Amino acid sequence: MARFEEFSEHESSSKTHFKHNQLRRAGIIIMFLTAMAYLFFLYVTLVSWWQPTLSNRFIDALRTNNYYILLPPVLIPTVAMFTIMNWLGMQFFKRN
Protein backbone atom coordinates (compact mmCIF):
# COMPACT_ATOMS: atom_id res chain seq x y z
CA MET A 1 0.00 0.00 0.00
CA ALA A 2 1.52 3.30 -1.06
CA ARG A 3 1.98 6.02 1.53
CA PHE A 4 1.70 9.65 0.62
CA GLU A 5 4.61 10.95 2.67
CA GLU A 6 4.27 14.31 0.99
CA PHE A 7 1.13 15.04 3.01
CA SER A 8 2.02 13.18 6.19
CA GLU A 9 1.96 15.07 9.48
CA HIS A 10 4.80 12.96 10.83
CA GLU A 11 7.30 14.15 8.24
CA SER A 12 10.20 16.04 9.78
CA SER A 13 10.57 18.50 6.92
CA SER A 14 9.15 21.95 7.71
CA LYS A 15 8.29 22.50 4.04
CA THR A 16 6.05 19.42 4.02
CA HIS A 17 4.49 20.42 7.34
CA PHE A 18 3.72 23.87 5.89
CA LYS A 19 2.10 22.24 2.86
CA HIS A 20 -0.04 20.04 5.12
CA ASN A 21 -1.22 23.05 7.14
CA GLN A 22 -1.92 24.98 3.96
CA LEU A 23 -4.01 22.13 2.55
CA ARG A 24 -5.92 21.76 5.83
CA ARG A 25 -6.65 25.51 5.92
CA ALA A 26 -7.83 25.46 2.31
CA GLY A 27 -10.09 22.48 3.06
CA ILE A 28 -11.63 24.23 6.06
CA ILE A 29 -12.26 27.38 4.04
CA ILE A 30 -13.90 25.38 1.23
CA MET A 31 -16.11 23.52 3.71
CA PHE A 32 -17.11 26.79 5.40
CA LEU A 33 -17.99 28.47 2.08
CA THR A 34 -19.97 25.42 1.00
CA ALA A 35 -21.94 25.41 4.25
CA MET A 36 -22.68 29.15 3.91
CA ALA A 37 -23.89 28.71 0.32
CA TYR A 38 -26.06 25.76 1.36
CA LEU A 39 -27.65 27.71 4.21
CA PHE A 40 -28.23 30.76 1.98
CA PHE A 41 -29.98 28.78 -0.74
CA LEU A 42 -31.92 26.80 1.85
CA TYR A 43 -33.17 30.10 3.23
CA VAL A 44 -34.02 31.44 -0.22
CA THR A 45 -35.86 28.32 -1.37
CA LEU A 46 -37.71 27.33 1.79
CA VAL A 47 -37.83 30.08 4.42
CA SER A 48 -38.23 33.22 2.34
CA TRP A 49 -41.58 32.06 0.96
CA TRP A 50 -43.24 32.74 4.33
CA GLN A 51 -41.60 36.10 4.95
CA PRO A 52 -42.52 39.48 3.46
CA THR A 53 -40.51 40.75 0.52
CA LEU A 54 -37.15 42.31 1.31
CA SER A 55 -35.48 45.32 -0.21
CA ASN A 56 -32.77 43.08 -1.66
CA ARG A 57 -33.46 42.62 -5.38
CA PHE A 58 -31.34 39.48 -5.71
CA ILE A 59 -33.07 37.60 -2.90
CA ASP A 60 -36.50 38.78 -4.06
CA ALA A 61 -35.77 37.59 -7.60
CA LEU A 62 -34.74 34.17 -6.31
CA ARG A 63 -37.76 34.12 -4.02
CA THR A 64 -40.26 34.66 -6.82
CA ASN A 65 -38.61 32.16 -9.18
CA ASN A 66 -40.61 28.94 -9.23
CA TYR A 67 -37.77 26.75 -10.48
CA TYR A 68 -35.87 26.83 -7.19
CA ILE A 69 -38.72 25.05 -5.45
CA LEU A 70 -37.97 22.04 -7.69
CA LEU A 71 -34.36 21.86 -6.50
CA PRO A 72 -34.81 19.69 -3.35
CA PRO A 73 -36.82 16.94 -5.12
CA VAL A 74 -34.26 16.79 -7.93
CA LEU A 75 -31.31 16.76 -5.51
CA ILE A 76 -32.47 13.61 -3.70
CA PRO A 77 -31.97 11.15 -6.60
CA THR A 78 -28.87 13.05 -7.77
CA VAL A 79 -27.16 12.74 -4.39
CA ALA A 80 -28.25 9.11 -4.10
CA MET A 81 -26.78 8.21 -7.50
CA PHE A 82 -23.59 10.15 -6.78
CA THR A 83 -23.19 8.30 -3.48
CA ILE A 84 -23.77 4.90 -5.09
CA MET A 85 -21.34 5.60 -7.93
CA ASN A 86 -18.74 6.91 -5.47
CA TRP A 87 -19.07 3.77 -3.35
CA LEU A 88 -18.86 1.55 -6.45
CA GLY A 89 -15.75 3.33 -7.69
CA MET A 90 -14.12 2.92 -4.28
CA GLN A 91 -14.94 -0.80 -4.30
CA PHE A 92 -13.36 -1.20 -7.73
CA PHE A 93 -10.30 0.75 -6.57
CA LYS A 94 -9.85 -1.33 -3.41
CA ARG A 95 -10.17 -4.66 -5.24
CA ASN A 96 -7.80 -3.93 -8.13
72 and 58 both lie in a single domain: no
Asked whether residue 2 falls in the same domain as residue 40, the answer is yes
With 0.85 as the threshold, say if the pTM is over it.
no
Look at residue 84 in the predicted model and tell me its pLDDT. Answer: 96
Residue 20 near residue 44 (C-beta atoms within 8 A) = no
Task: Quote the number of domains for the chain.
Answer: 2
Degrees to nearest 5, angle at CA 67 with 61 and 72: 115
Say whether pLDDT at 96 is over 60: yes
For 16, the domain range is 1-64
Question: Hey, what's the torsion of the CAs at 9, 15, 20, 24, to 10 degrees?
Answer: 140
> Is the pLDDT confidence value at 53 over 90?
no
